[in-house]
Structure 1
C-alpha cells in the first residue's frame, strides 16, 4: 500500500478514490448546512482543525480541481436566491448558518474529501487519507481473492469439459443398451399379454367343460334313480 502522502502528490490517485466520501464520517462527523448538502469554508476549517486562512490558501492553489469536485462560489442573484431558499431552514437554528455577505463559498462532501487529500498540516486530513488507502487496499485484496476464485472455477470447468468429452462415448453406449433393453421389455410385455389372453380363453373353455360335465352327471343320476324305481 502506498503511503498516505501519495495522495498529496498524485491527481490520478485522488481521482480514483473521489467517490469514497464516506471516509469523512468514518474519521469525524462533518457538520452540514441546513440544506443537508454543503458546508462553508469555516465549517471545513473546523472539521480539519485548521484556520480558515489555510483552507482559503489551499482553495486558491487548487481551485480548478476543487471546482471540478463540487466547490461553488455564490455571488449576486445566485447568492440571494440560495440565502432566500435556505433562510427558513436556518431560522431558529443554532446560528451555524452563514450571515448575508457579498459572496459565499460552498463545499459539498466530494470537495471536502478533495481537500482532505490536499491538506498537509492536519491530523484529521491524514487520518482520512489513511482510511482511504486502507479501504482501497482491502478492496484490492478482495478483488485479487475474487480473481483467484474465478480462475479456479475456470480451471475446474476446463477439467469438467474434458471429463464430459470422455464420458460422451460411455453415455452413448449406455443409451444404446437401454434402448435395446427397452425393446426387449416391450417384446416381453407382448408375449406376457398373449399368454394372458390364452389363459383367459382356456379358463373360459374349462368353465364350459365343467358345465357340460355337471350336466352329464346330472343326467346319469336321473337315469340311475329311474332304474331303481322300476
Structure 2
C-alpha cells in the first residue's frame, strides 16, 4: 500500500495556532483559534488544522482519493482489498469500519439509542427506519429498476433474477431464496402450529391461515376459505 506523505508538517493556517497555554493542571494546551478546540500535543493540533485548510496529504494509489489521516486511508484501502479489519468478538462477524462494528454490537447488547419522533419506537439505527415514514427507496435493482428502502431487501430481490436459493432445508434439501421462507417451510417437518385464534383457540401453522380463519368464522366474511 503506497502512502503519499506531505513534504512538511507546515500548513497555511500557521497563525491560527495559539502558543501553548498553561491549564490549572499545569499541562500545556494547544488551541485552534478558528474553532477553539484544544489539544495536549502540537502534532494533534496540526492534524486538526487540515479540517480548516482542506489539506489531505494521504492519497490512495488505486482511486486517487485523498484523506486527512493515515488511519482514514488504511480504512479506505479495505474497500479495494476486501479486507474487513474489525471483528465482533461475540459472533466473529467482520466489518470494514469501526463505526459499523460499534453499530453491529447493539444487536448483542439490545441497545436502541435512537427514537423516532413520529412513532416513538426505538432502534439500533434510525435512518433506515425513517424511510418507512418518508417512502424513500434509494436502492435500485440494475436489472429491472425496482427500488428498495434498504440494501438487504435489494439483495434478496436480486435472487429473483439470479435464481439463487442459498437457504436449504437440512431435512428434505429443498432450497429457498429467503430465510423467512425456509423458516415457514420447516413447520411442515416440525408440525408446529404457532398461530392460535384468541376466540376459539384453534391453531394454525401460518399467520395467513389464521387470518383467513378469523375472517370466515368470526367476522362473517364467507368469501375466504379455511
Q: TM (normalized to structure 2)?
A: 0.19
Answer 1 or 2: higher relative contact order, Cα 8 Å, separation at least 6: 1
More strand by share: 2
Q: TM (normalized to structure 1)?
A: 0.19
- Which structure's CA Rg is the greater one? 1
More helix by share: 1
